Amino acid sequence: MLAFSETNARYIVEVRNEDIDKATSILTNLGVLFSVIGSSGGDYVIVRWGDHKLMTLKLDDLKAAYNSLWGAS
């Protein structure tokens, strides 16, 4: 599991597919409000809102965009 936050009120947590049921159970039992917002794997990141697919992004495109901010290739 990996957690990332830019504020102390919201976090993005990465969970392996095989652990998603366990993670959602733990969060639910603790009374933590959460949403599963996407998945990654292969060559794409898919962002969802409930059952709606909001966007599919190629990892190579994301990497290029990120690296261009820092002058890397």
| Model pLDDT for residues 3-41, shown as the tens digit of each residue | 555 666 777 888 988 999 999 999 999 998 888 887 777
The sign of the torsion formed by the CA atoms of 21, 3, 7, 9 equals positive
| Cut 0.85: pTM above it | no
Q: In the chain, what's the furthest Cα-to-Cα distance?
A: 45
Q: How high is the pLDDT of residue 29? A: 96
* Cα–Cα distance for residue pair 73/64, rounded to 1 Å: 7
Q: Where are the domains of the chain?
A: 1-34, 37-73
The owner of tokens 């190629």 is: 58
